[in-house]
Structure 1
Amino acid sequence: MHVFETPRDLYEAESISPERPLNCLESVVHVNEGGIVYDYCWFPLMNSNDAATCCWLATRQNEPIQLWDAYYGDLRCSYRGYNAVDEVESALSVTFSHDGSEVIGGYKKTLKIFKTNVPGRDYESIPISSPASAIACNSEDNVVAVGSWSSSITLLDIREPKYGDICQINQHRGGITYLRFLHGRNQLISGARKDNQLMLWDLRHIAEPVQTAQFTRLVNTNQRIYFDISSDTNWLMSGDTSGIIHAWNLNDLSAVQEQTYSVHRDCCNGVSLHPTKAILATSSGQHHFELSDMNDVDNNNEGRIKMPRENSLILWWCGKTQVTV
Structure 2
Amino acid sequence: MGEEEEEEPILVNNEENIQTNLDEQNIYTYPQIKFDIPPYKTYHFYQQFRNTSNPNNFLKAVKWSPDGSCFLTSSDDNTLRKFNLPDNEDTCPSAPGDSYVADLVVSEGESVYDYCWYPYMSASDPATCVFASTTRDHPLHLWDAVSGQLRGTYRAYDAMDEISAAFSAAFNPSGTKLFAGYNKSVRIFDIHRPGRDFEQYSTLQGNKEGQSGIISTIAFCPSNTGMLAAGSYGQTTAIYSEGNMELLYVLHGQEGGVTHVQFSRDGNYLYTGGRKDPFILCWDIRNTVSIVYKVKSALESQEHNLYETVHPEKFRKYTRIYLLYMIGLSWFKTAKACSLEGSKTLKRVRFLFELSIRLYRSSESTNQRILFDIEPSGRHLGTGGQDGQIHIYDLQTGQWVTSFQAASDTVNGFCFHPFLPIAASSSGHRRFGMPDDLDEGFSLSDEENCASVWSFFYSPIADNEGNIDCHDSNTPIESEDIRKDS
Distance in 1, matches of 2:221 and 2:377, equals 16
Q: In the alignment, residue 399 of structure 2 is paired with which amino acid?
A: V
Question: 1:211 — aligned with what?
Answer: 357
Question: 1:2 — aligned with what?
Answer: 81
Distance in 1, matches of 2:234 and 2:98, equals 42
* Greater helix share, structure number: 2
Structure number with bigger Rg: 2
RMSD: 2.2
The change in CA–CA distance for 1:287 and 1:23 in structure 2 (over 3 A counts) is closer
Provide Cα deviations, 1:177-227, integer angstroms capped at 9, x if missing partner. 111111314211000011110001111123221111xx1010020111110
Distance in 1, matches of 2:155 and 2:427, equals 32
* Greater strand share, structure number: 1
SS at match of 1:41: strand
Unaligned runs of 5+ in 2: 1-79, 90-96, 204-211, 289-352, 437-443, 460-486
Provide Cα deviations, 1:32-84, integer angstroms capped at 9, x if missing partner. 21210000011111111111111111000111110001111111001111222
Question: 1:82 — aligned with what?
Answer: 157
Q: In the alignment, residue 39 of structure 1 is paired with which amino acid?
A: D
SS at match of 2:360: coil
TM-score (norm 1): 0.85
Per-residue deviation, 1:23: 6.6
TM-score (norm 2): 0.57
More relative contact order, 1 or 2 (CA 8 Å, 6+ apart) = 2
Question: 2:64 — aligned with what?
Answer: none
1:55 aligns with 2:91: no
1:103 aligns with 2:185: no
The number of aligned residues is: 293
Q: In the alignment, residue 273 of structure 1 is paired with which amino acid?
A: F
Per-residue deviation, 1:283: 0.6
Per-residue deviation, 1:164: 2.5
What are the equivalent positions in structure 2 for 1:52-201 lying under 5 Å apart? Answer: 52-128=127-203, 129-139=212-222, 140-160=224-244, 163-201=245-283
Distance in 1, matches of 2:458 and 2:248, equals 44
Per-residue deviation, 1:134: 1.1
1:310 aligns with 2:448: yes
Question: 2:10 — aligned with what?
Answer: none
1:261 aligns with 2:344: no
Question: 2:431 — aligned with what?
Answer: 288
Q: Any conservation in 2 of the 1:7–1:23 contact (CA below 8 Å)?
A: no
Provide Cα deviations, 1:153-198, integer angstroms capped at 9, x if missing partner. 11111224xx321111120111111111113142110000111100
Unaligned runs of 5+ in 1: 11-21, 294-306
Q: Any conservation in 1 of the 2:282–2:357 contact (CA below 8 Å)?
A: yes
SS at match of 1:178: strand
Per-residue deviation, 1:152: 1.0
Q: Any conservation in 2 of the 1:5–1:25 contact (CA below 8 Å)?
A: no
Per-residue deviation, 1:292: 7.1
Distance in 1, matches of 2:267 and 2:220, equals 14
Q: In the alignment, residue 312 of structure 1 is paired with which amino acid?
A: C
Out of 347, 358, 367, the position equivalent to 1:222 is 367
Distance in 2, matches of 1:121 and 1:164, equals 23
Per-residue deviation, 1:260: 0.7
Distance in 1, matches of 2:267 and 2:232, equals 24
